[in-house]
């Protein structure tokens, strides 16, 4: 199974403004476990890439918030999830068929359970 | 204690008034800017009021004068265009340990207040002239210019602070949070039009009329951020030193098409204070005096609940005529323009009304101009301050930078000689603007 995780930044990631509860380490772990990971944020895409590079995480995508459909087109996966802190995150995610988790739900790394389920 | 607003007779808001009587009799010298923040963390020492006091003290120090010399204070009390607390909300715990309390409990938190400021800046013990310049610091600059020119104050502080509380700025707050809409809002707001929606509609009308496109805004927005990042006092240079690319802009999310998210300015915490005085007294100030040549005002002549392209063009044309008539200068005399940009999509209305870098054209040329070299190094610097878009929402970066440019000390100093500049805000049809000069008028 292939899983794709999209992270909002401000209010979601620990390096966002405001800071959220999702840590870089959680994203790094997901990447190492084979998830397709990236960010989908209102921050400049060019900056998103630089930010991930500065944390040493080789994300697979870094796009504006409204381009989740583009991500879905680019990457074939069995499950698509967007994680964010605002209604607009949920609205845009659900519009293109992504599952949505609030930032506070994501801090428990619920995606890790999928790997267990798979076994 | 209530303080007076600006007498209507002080505003230059019609044609035919001739040269401004105060022309060359008022100068700006010291400038003080507070640190910035994205939102208030509810600590007294980072409140809007605290930032305002910092700005005042920095302006006085920058002018190189004693606080005793300040005998006037003009303040814009409104400190946001977004959400505020209920006016009766008490200050947070510990507030009284930092500040003396005024009768208005939100003073220094979500509203500027002259009495509160004077209580908490005891060194300002000779302030006799006090006035509120409502809505925009542009109004306060005009009020202070008139007050100095009329001899009502000799050395006057012009002040505005901005607060930004945690949470949403516009969405679901204020009138938007109510179950019913009344007044003009029952026609304009019930469908959830975002703040930039009106501007987006008029911009669309502009593009259709003149055959232009939103893509032509890209170089302007990129240049705004570049200029803003040169400013060590700006929000972005202090907290998000991130440069936007043309691709970032062109792929951005629509907020109200054709206004995208980067056409909108970011609400922040910040405060500015500027010292105005007479040319005579400025001889003892540390900074080079910047002369005010004239000022102008427009207010909307609405034909419906939203403005139209025609009305915005008429208003900005009128502003151009009033400013040039009062100052005795013309479009070709401008070294740069620093008109308002929050939202970016109406900046060109201001610019075209002034006929800035028009090369004989009257309307519909600004987006073509944006695609030329409008940088501080170029022949036609556009908004060298970086404006709200490059520094965060204050409505005063443009005024501040105009003074600094003409003093020759702007962090984004234009390369050609800065001799005469113009700044004004906010909207194309609700605007107060000033023409400034590095030298006294002849």
The rounded distance, in Å, linking the Cα atoms of A41 and A26 is 18
Partner residue facing A45 (CB), from B38, B166, B248? B248
CA distance A50 to chain B (A): 10
- Whether residue B110 is contained in a domain is answered as yes
Q: Which chain B residues touch A17 with a CB distance below 8 Å?
A: 38, 239-240
DSSP assignment of B43-99 equals -GGGSHHHHHHHHHHHHHHHHT--GGG--EEEEE-B--SS----TTPPPPTTHHHHS
Which of B228, B264, B220 minimizes the C-alpha distance to B246? Answer: B220
For residue B269, give the DSSP letter.
B
CA distance A115 to chain B (A): 34
Phi-psi region of B238 (alpha: psi -120 to 50; beta: other; left: phi over 0): alpha
Q: Which chain A residues touch B256 with a CB distance below 8 Å?
A: none
Look at residue B174 in the predicted model and tell me its pLDDT: 60
Is pLDDT at B212 greater than 80 in this prediction? yes
Long-range contacts (CB closer than 8 Å, 24 or more residues apart) made by B235-238: B235/B36, B235/B37, B235/B38, B235/B266, B235/B268, B235/B270, B235/B391, B235/B392, B236/B390, B236/B391, B236/B392, B237/B391, B238/B35, B238/B36
The answer to whether A53 faces chain B, any CB pair under 8 Å, is no
Is pLDDT at B276 greater than 80 in this prediction? yes
Please state the domain count of chain B.
1
The reply to whether residue A46 touches residue B261, judged by beta carbons under 8 angstroms, is: no
Average pLDDT rounded to a whole number, residues B181-191:
73
Nearest chain B residue to A92 by CA distance is: B253
Which of B264, B246, B245 minimizes the C-alpha distance to B254? Answer: B264
pLDDT digits (tens, 9 = 90+) for A66-99: 999 999 999 999 999 999 999 999 999 999 999 9
Residue B103's pLDDT band (boundaries 50, 70, 90)?
confident
Report ipTM for this prediction: 0.94
Q: Which chain A residues touch B253 with a CB distance below 8 Å?
A: 42, 64-66
Look at residue B392 in the predicted model and tell me its pLDDT: 98
Look at residue B345 in the predicted model and tell me its pLDDT: 98
Is pLDDT at B29 greater than 60 in this prediction? yes
Look at residue B99 in the predicted model and tell me its pLDDT: 97
CA distance B253 to chain A (A): 6
The reply to whether residue B253 touches residue A47, judged by beta carbons under 8 angstroms, is: no
Q: Which CATH number goes with the domain that contains B131?
A: 3.40.47.10
Residue from A44, A70, A85 whose CB has the most chain B CBs within 10 Å, to mutate: A44
Look at residue B177 in the predicted model and tell me its pLDDT: 66
Residue from B165, B170, B171, B248 whose CB has the most chain A CBs within 10 Å, to mutate: B248
Look at residue B328 in the predicted model and tell me its pLDDT: 98
Residue B182's pLDDT band (boundaries 50, 70, 90)?
confident
pLDDT digits (tens, 9 = 90+) for B114-153: 999 999 999 999 999 999 999 999 999 999 999 999 999 9
CA distance B250 to chain A (A): 11
Nearest chain A residue to B37 by CA distance is: A17
Q: Which chain A residues touch B245 with a CB distance below 8 Å?
A: 44, 46
Nearest chain B residue to A16 by CA distance is: B240
Structure-token match 């915490």, residue found: B269
The reply to whether residue B248 touches residue A44, judged by beta carbons under 8 angstroms, is: yes
Average pLDDT rounded to a whole number, residues A42-57:
98
Residue A115's pLDDT band (boundaries 50, 70, 90)?
confident
Average pLDDT rounded to a whole number, residues B308-337:
98
The answer to whether A65 faces chain B, any CB pair under 8 Å, is yes
The reply to whether residue A17 touches residue B253, judged by beta carbons under 8 angstroms, is: no
Phi-psi region of B232 (alpha: psi -120 to 50; beta: other; left: phi over 0): alpha
Q: Which chain B residues touch A46 with a CB distance below 8 Å?
A: 243-245, 247-248
Identify the residue with better confidence: A116 or B312. Answer: B312
Look at residue B11 in the predicted model and tell me its pLDDT: 98
CA distance A89 to chain B (A): 12
Q: Which chain A residues touch B239 with a CB distance below 8 Å?
A: 17
Q: Which chain B residues touch A66 with a CB distance below 8 Å?
A: 253-254
The reply to whether residue B242 touches residue A43, judged by beta carbons under 8 angstroms, is: yes
Look at residue B173 in the predicted model and tell me its pLDDT: 61
pLDDT digits (tens, 9 = 90+) for A100-113: 999 999 999 999 99
| CATH number given to A3-115 | 3.40.50.1000
pTM for this structure?
A: 0.96
User: Do the Cβ atoms of B48 and B120 come closer than 8 Å?
Assistant: no
Q: What's the gap between Cα B377 and its chain centre?
A: 23
Chain B residues touching chain A at CB-CB below 8 Å: 38-39, 166, 239-240, 242-245, 247-248, 251-254, 261-262
- Whether residue B243 is contained in a domain is answered as no
The answer to whether A64 faces chain B, any CB pair under 8 Å, is yes
Q: How many CA atoms lie within 13 A of A4 on its CB side?
A: 25
Query: Is the previous residue joined to A18 through a cis bond, with omega within 30 degrees of 0?
Result: yes
């Amino acid at each position: 199974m292939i899983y794709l995780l999209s992270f909002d930044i401000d209010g979601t990631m620990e390096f966002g403004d405001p800071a959220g509860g999702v840590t870089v380490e959680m994203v790094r772990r997901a990447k190492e476990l084979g998830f397709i990971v990236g960010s989908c944020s209102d921050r400049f895409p060019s900056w998103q890439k630089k930010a991930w590079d500065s944390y040493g995480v080789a994300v697979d995508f870094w796009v504006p918030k409204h381009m989740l459909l583009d991500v879905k087109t680019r990457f074939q996966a069995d499950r698509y999830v967007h994680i964010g802190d605002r209604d607009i995150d949920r609205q845009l995610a659900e519009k293109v068929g992504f599952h949505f988790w609030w930032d506070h739900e994501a801090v428990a790394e619920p995606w890790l359970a999928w790997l267990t389920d798979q076994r | 204690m209530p303080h007076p607003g600006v007498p209507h007779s002080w505003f230059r808001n019609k044609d035919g008034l001739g040269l401004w009587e105060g022309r060359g009799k008022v100068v700006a010298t010291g400038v003080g800017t507070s640190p910035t923040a994205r939102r208030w963390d509810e600590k007294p020492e980072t409140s809007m009021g605290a930032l305002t006091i910092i700005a005042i003290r920095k302006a006085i120090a920058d002018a190189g004068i004693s606080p005793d010399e300040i005998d006037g204070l003009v303040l814009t009390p409104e400190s946001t265009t977004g959400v505020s607390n209920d006016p009766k909300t008490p200050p947070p715990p510990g507030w009284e340990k930092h500040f003396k309390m005024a009768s208005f409990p939100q003073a220094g938190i979500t509203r500027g207040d002259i009495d509160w400021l004077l209580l908490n800046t005891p060194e300002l013990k000779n302030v006799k002239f006090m006035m509120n310049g409502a809505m925009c610091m542009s109004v306060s600059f005009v009020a202070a210019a008139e007050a100095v020119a009329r001899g009502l104050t000799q050395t006057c502080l012009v002040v505005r602070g901005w607060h930004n509380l945690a949470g949403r700025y516009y969405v679901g707050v204020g009138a938007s949070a109510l179950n019913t809409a009344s007044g003009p809002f029952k026609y304009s707001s019930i469908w959830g039009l975002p703040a930039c929606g009106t501007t987006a509609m008029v911009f669309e009308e502009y593009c259709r009329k003149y055959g232009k496109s939103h893509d032509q805004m890209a170089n302007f927005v990129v240049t705004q951020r570049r200029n803003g990042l040169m400013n060590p006092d700006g929000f972005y240079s202090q907290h998000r030193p991130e440069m936007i690319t043309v691709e970032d802009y062109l792929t951005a999310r629509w907020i109200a098409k054709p206004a995208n998210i980067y056409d909108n300015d970011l609400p922040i915490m910040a405060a500015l204070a500027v010292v105005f005085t007479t040319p005579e007294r400025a001889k003892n100030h540390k900074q080079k005096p910047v002369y005010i040549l004239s000022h102008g005002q427009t207010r909307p002549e609405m034909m419906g609940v939203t403005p139209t392209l025609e009305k915005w063009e008429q208003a900005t044309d009128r502003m151009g005529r009033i400013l040039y008539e009062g100052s005795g200068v013309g479009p070709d005399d401008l070294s740069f323009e620093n008109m308002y940009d929050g939202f970016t999509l109406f900046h060109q209305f201001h610019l075209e009304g002034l006929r800035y870098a028009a090369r004989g054209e009257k309307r519909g040329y600004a987006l073509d101009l944006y695609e030329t070299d409008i940088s501080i190094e170029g022949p036609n610097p556009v908004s060298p301050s970086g404006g709200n878009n490059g520094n965060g929402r204050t409505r005063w970066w443009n005024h501040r930078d105009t003074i600094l440019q003409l003093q020759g000390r702007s962090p984004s100093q234009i390369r050609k000689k800065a001799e005469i500049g113009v700044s004004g805000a906010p909207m194309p049809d609700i605007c107060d603007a000033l023409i400034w000069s590095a030298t006294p008028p002849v």
